[in-house]
Chain A
Amino acid sequence: MATNRDRLLTLLCLGVFIVAFAAAVVLAVVGPPPDLIALAVFGALSIFAANTSVVLPNDSALSASFMLCVASVVVFHGGAQYLGPLLVGAGAGLYLPHLREHDWRKVIFNTGSLGLSALAAAAVYSLVPNSVLESVPGELAAAIPTALTYSLINYLFLTAALSLHEGRPLAIVADELWLGDLQIYPFALMGVLLGRLYVDVGAWVIPLFVAPILIARAAFASYLALRQAQEATLSTLIRALEAKDRYTAGHVERVAQFSELIGTELGFRAPQLVRLRYAALLHDIGKLVVPNQILNKPGRLTESEFAEMRKHEPASIEMLCRIDFLAPIAPSLEAEAAGDHSGPIEARIIGVADAFDAMTSTRAYRRALPQEVAFAELRDKSGTQFDPACVNALITVLERSGEKYGAGHESDVADFAVPPPVAGLGSAGLGNLEAEHEVSS
């Protein structure tokens, strides 16, 4: 049953569409007819652009339809200067997945709101005196208020719709959506020049313009596919590790997860987070060279077995050094384990994440400790064994989110033949922690 909010949203979508449609009808009746070839060219491009995207240096995607709407404002200026941009803008709302899924509410909202945004942009452009538009710098200057108007109207419609759709306060949605993204404005300038060139030189310029964008998009799609293959390769590693050492199943993925949480809290950017995640996933890669019988031995290791076990650290470094973007971190992972914090921040983060997971998961030699005990231990050794900023970041982010790990909160506990003791020596060299911290829980 539709809620009031849902009904309001439907009304908003219908209202926006009806206003845009009415405006189009009025303009078609009272204004000059648009140049049909220009309308076909820019309308088709607009639909095409809405269904493709261009990647920006910050990894966000931008549809070129914004630029094409600005171009259409220039192309139709002096003729059907409102109707043309309105129709081209509406074309940008025809997103194929929405059409395929018969999601008509989204289709009418997008066509209506983008059409009206383009109409408003055209109205602002028409206010610019022709003397200003005669020079290229003048035209480029006129592109700024034109693009700002388009963005602002689109932003207002989108904020209202999302607020209703998600049931969140208007102010919060408005704050989240606020368009401070200056990277889109060069595209507005490019749109103005594309429009000018189309008017002066003809449709010849369109394929020249579209080809590199399509190629950029195809290369980006290949990049995404390769990134998937990279993830698959890492999953293979994790499966190989799990096949060898069932007691630490899930360990590397949790270390990667905690590392990402710390990195995000410390303000890491997307490429740094990717590097951190890969380093965390691969930090135990050297365990692949340790014989299964030693990794899975339930009792105490002999001296020679322990020496064999310790081989995984240099092996991890040797293998990580073969990956250029992880090579600078690799030697520090071993140094970090030995208490030397002079290495890159990534190694210090992984050191904290590794120790936290070691304490909060059940192993053959000890049951998981409560999260509070792990926090207390991290705080105790902050500044000596662990980097204080990384410790603070992990504790802050977990306390803020309310997520719980450790005794009573484990998601996947291996089925141990011999039940592990409640307390015992930790793999991170942390001693008998529960006794030390005397947690009553």
Chain B
Amino acid sequence: MTRAARLAIIAGAGLLLALGASVAGSPGPVSDLIVLGTAIVIAEQFELRPAQRAPLPLSFAVVVVLVRAATPSEFVAVVFAAFAVAVALREHPTGLVRRAFVYAERLVEALGAAAVFHGIEDAARSGDARVVVLSALGAAAITEIIICDLVTLVRERRVAPLRARGADLAVVTSGMLMAVGYEGIGGEGSLGLWGPLLFSIPLLAAWYSFELLASTRRNLRQTVYALGSAPEIAGLARPGHVQRVAELATSMGSQLGMTWADVEQLETAALLHHLGAVCLDAPTSGAQLDPVAVAEAGAAMLRASEALAPAGDIVAAEPVLHRVPGTSTRAGGSLTGQVLKVASAFDELTEGHDEHAVWAVEALYTGPLYVYDGRVVGALERVLEERGVLAARG
């Protein structure tokens, strides 16, 4: 069944239930709560997926509406039921245990949001209604995101960066607007379910843009990866060399505090640093291709495109020595070029075997000082220590 069909069935079932509750004479809010529960189920199937961050489900915004629309006991009942259905219908993750984990995570996030909302509302009951409501709604939405980040930290040992929080802001502001639209403030501006329904449109626009962005990013990475595998398929590079160098170089770049944009270009350069080899005529038997000629041919191709020119510069800088031999003068290569040089040399020495890592690092340290940048070799060492390939120094 396609996702669209599944969502249509959920929406239809939810509306029928709400209609049934209304016809059966249940108090007004019951049908609204059923609709909001259904909205949680549907919104859970959509995630904002910013780069370098855990995905944010759109259900976070609906929970903010529910936290205000329901009493605490109603909230708990709706959240337990809705997320059970929502998580069961998600495409990912697969497996009962993983789904149970996501279910537990969503419950903690929702209950945390409710606790913060009611805490602020109770503490500041005498204040200006608008300030209190908006602060409580904002804090509730932020609580969900903080818990989500904490779960990522525990599960993946990855700290979410403080920058690039656009997706978070979209979820928080949309959730607040949808909640204000539902019930208004101080008895004014209540639009009922029309509010959350129509004010979800900007959030959906943001979701659509993030989806386009994520799929294009994935396609681009895969295209670069496919292109980068050409030298390997042609037998001009060792199997897996460019992928290993790309992984190592990006870790070293992050270790050296490079910006995300620089690290991305470094990854592209690493994946394509042997591309020039496929364009050169094969050497006479037994001879090796000239590494400088390979780098120059690859760099020339990349530099012809504005978007890939920085990666071309890194490829061109790879064969450049760190210093002018016999002097303390830098040879003019960039730090990113040095990272690629060291990562590539390390992989050439180890041929992808971790057991050669100690020897390879020593070889890089004991080589002539003008060849490799000591800072970069240090970064390599720290990355290998973090990976457990090298024993950490005491």
- Taking Cβ atoms with an 8 Å cutoff, the residues of A that contact B are 54-55, 57, 136-137, 140, 186-187, 189-190, 193, 196-197, 199-202, 204-205, 207-209, 211-213, 215-220, 222-223, 225-237, 239-240, 243-244, 278, 282, 285-286, 288-293, 315, 318-320, 322-325
Contact = CB atoms under 8 A, between A and B. Distances in A.
Interface of B is mostly: helix
Interface stretch (B117-125, B155-163, B164-172, B245-253): B164-172
By Cβ-Cβ distance, the 4 closest A-B pairs, closest first, are A200-B189, A232-B305, A219-B209, A289-B234
Nearest to B232: A289
B374 interface: no
A200 B184 CA distance: 8
Given A227-B216, A292-B282, A239 B275 contact: no
A232 B223 CA distance: 11
Nearest to B198: A190
Contacts of B304: 235-236, 239
Given A197-B191, A212-B170, A292 B185 contact: no
27 contacts: A57-B208, A137-B194, A193-B198, A196-B191, A197-B191, A201-B180, A204-B130, A208-B173, A208-B177, A211-B170, A212-B169, A215-B167, A216-B170, A216-B209, A217-B209, A218-B166, A225-B307, A226-B220, A231-B307, A232-B307, A233-B220, A233-B307, A240-B301, A244-B278, A244-B279, A324-B218, A325-B215
Contacts of B198: 186, 189-190, 193
Nearest to B130: A204
B225 A322 contact: yes
B222 A323 contact: yes
B278 A288 contact: yes
Interface in B205-232: 205-206, 208-210, 212-213, 215-220, 222-227, 229-230
B281 interface: yes
Interface in B257-304: 272, 275, 278-282, 297, 301-302, 304
Contacts of B305: 232-233, 235-236
Given A212-B169, A213-B202, A233-B308, 19 more contacts: A201-B180, A202-B130, A208-B173, A208-B176, A213-B205, A216-B206, A218-B166, A219-B209, A230-B223, A232-B305, A232-B306, A236-B227, A236-B275, A236-B305, A240-B279, A244-B279, A285-B226, A288-B227, A292-B281
B244 to A, nearest CB: 16
Contact of B173 (A207, A235, A291): A207
A285 B230 contact: yes
Nearest to B227: A237
A51 to B, nearest CB: 17
A215 B169 contact: yes
B319 interface: no
Given A189-B198, A212-B202, A219-B206, A205 B166 contact: no
B301 A208 contact: no
Given A193-B181, A233-B220, A243 B297 contact: yes
B195 interface: yes
A225 B233 CA distance: 30
A230 B281 contact: no
Contacts of A219: 166-167, 206, 209-210, 212-213
Interface residues of B, number: 63
Contacts of A211: 169-170, 173
Contacts of A137: 194
B282 to A, nearest CB: 5
B46 interface: no
B171 to A, nearest CB: 8
Given A243-B301, A244-B278, A322-B229, A229 B194 contact: no
Nearest to A191: B198
A291 B282 contact: yes
> In the complex, which of the residues B217, B230, B234 has the most CB atoms of chain A within 10 Å of its own CB atom?
B230
A215 B220 contact: no
Counting chain A CB atoms within 10 Å of each CB, the highest count among B205, B209, B304 belongs to B205
B338 interface: no
Contacts of A187: 201
A205 B189 CA distance: 11
A236 B224 CA distance: 10
B3 to A, nearest CB: 14
Contact of B233 (A209, A244, A318): A318
A222 B189 CA distance: 36
Contact of B307 (A197, A205, A229, A282): A229
Contacts of B233: 286, 288-289, 315, 318-319
Q: Which of A57, A189, A193 has the most C-beta atoms of chain B within 10 angstroms of its own C-beta?
A: A193
B198 to A, nearest CB: 5
B192 interface: yes
A323 B219 contact: yes
Contacts of B206: 212-213, 215-216, 219
Contacts of B224: 233
Contacts of A229: 220, 307-308
Given A233-B227, A293-B281, A223 B216 contact: yes
Contacts of B34: none
B222 to A, nearest CB: 4
A40 B307 CA distance: 40
B199 interface: yes
Contacts of A55: 205, 208-209, 212
Given A201-B180, A209-B202, A239-B301, A324 B219 contact: yes
Contacts of B307: 225, 228-229, 231-233
Contacts of B272: 236
B189 to A, nearest CB: 3
A230 B215 CA distance: 11
A201 B230 contact: no
Given A205-B180, A323-B226, A190 B201 contact: yes
Nearest to A228: B307
B134 interface: yes
A230 B222 CA distance: 10
B203 interface: yes
Contacts of A193: 181, 191, 194-195, 198-199
B193 to A, nearest CB: 9
Contacts of B212: 55, 219-220, 223
Contact of B201 (A186, A244, A286): A186
B274 to A, nearest CB: 11
B174 interface: yes
A212 B306 contact: no
B185 to A, nearest CB: 5
Nearest to A137: B194
Contacts of B130: 201-202, 204
Given A243-B301, A319-B233, A209 B177 contact: yes
B355 interface: no
A225 B302 CA distance: 17
